[in-house]
Chain A
Amino acid sequence: MRAAQPARWRETAGLLLLLLPGLGLIVLFIGTVISMAVAQSVGYFNFSGPSGFTLDFWHKQLTSPILRTSVLYSLKIATISAILSVALAYPLALWLRKPFPGSGAISALLKAPMMVPGLVAAFLLVNVIAFHGIINETLLGLGITSKPLRMQNDRFGFAVIFLQVWKQLPFALLLLSAAVQSIHDDLLNAARDLGAGALARFRKIVLPLTLKSMQAALIIIFIGAAGDYSFQVVAGPTRSSSLAQHMYTVQREFGQWNEAAVVAIVLMAIALTGSILLAAASQLAVSWGKK
C-alpha cells in the first residue's frame, strides 16, 4: 500500500490540473466578485457616503416583510416553472427520439422561443392577453364573454410561469433530447417484450437513464426563474414582488446599494440551495418510481 502514496499525490495533482481551467476560473473570478458583493453588503463600496463595517443593512433587510414574501414568491415561481418545463419536455423528447420526416424541423421550431429575448416574449404575451387583445376579442366575438377580461398581471403569477415555461422548455428539451437519444433501443425493446407498458418503461428505464440530464435542466431553469426580473415587471402580479424585483427596487428607487447587495446575496443563496434541493428531490422521486 505504501507504493500507492506517490500515485495518489500524482492523481491529486492531475485532478487539480483538470479542474483549473473550468472550476478554477470560476472560483477565481466569481469568488472575487461575490466577496465584493459581500463587502458591499456590510457597508463597503458605499456610493453615497463613507464606507465602513456595519451590519445595519443586513438587519434592515432581514427584518423586512417584503424580503420574506419575495423569497416565498420567487421559490414558488421557480419550482413550478422548473417542474412544468421538464414535465412537458419529456413527452416531446421521447416523441422526437426516432427521426421521422420533418422531425428535425419540428425540433428546431420548438426551440425557437429560447432565441426570443425575455422582455420581447413578455410584451408579446401581454399583447395577446390585453384588454382588447386577440383572446378577449375572440371571446367577445364568439359571445362567450360580454365584456373583456382583465388578464394582465394576474394575482397568482400564471403569466410569469407561462413565460418561464415558454422560454425554458426548449432548454429542457435540448438536454433531454440528447439524453433520450442515447438510450439504447435494445433496452426499451427488451422491456416491451417483457410486457412493460409505456408508463412502466418511462419510470423504470427512461427516467433513471436520463436523471442526470433532467437534474441539469431543473437546476438551470430553477436558477433562471428564481432570479427573474423582466417577466415579473411586465407580466407578474402587482401584489407580489420577486426577489430580483425587490433587489432592483431597493437599489434603483431608493439608491440603497448596500441593502441591494444584501438582497443579492440572499437571492444567490436561495437560487443555489433551492436548485440543489430540487435536484435531490428529483433523484429521490426517480429512485422511488423505479421500484
Chain B
Amino acid sequence: MSNNNWHLYEVFIRSKNGLAHKHAGSVHAQDAETAILSARDLYTRRGEASSLWIIKSSDIIASDPGEAGELYDPSDDKIYRHSTFYTVPDGVKNM
C-alpha cells in the first residue's frame, strides 16, 4: 500500500436547504476535489444530500472530553439563563 500520506477528510451533509450540515463520516483522498467526489459516492448514493462540506480532519480543533467538566462549568450555576427560572403570575397569557 502506498497511501500512507493520504489525507483524512471529514464529511458533512446538508440533506436539504433549511437544515444544517451534519457530520456523516470520513473519506481518504489526496486532494479536496477527489475528496468531494469520494464523499458523494460514499455518503450520497440515495439522494441524501443537497450540499456537501469536507474538511481535513487535521484542521479540526476539538475540545478535550477529559476537560469537559471545567470547560462547561461556568454555565452550570446560571439557572437564571433559563426561562423556567422566572415565575409568571397566574392569568398572564402568551408568555
Real complex partners, A and B? no
Residues on B close to A: CB < 8 A?
Answer: none
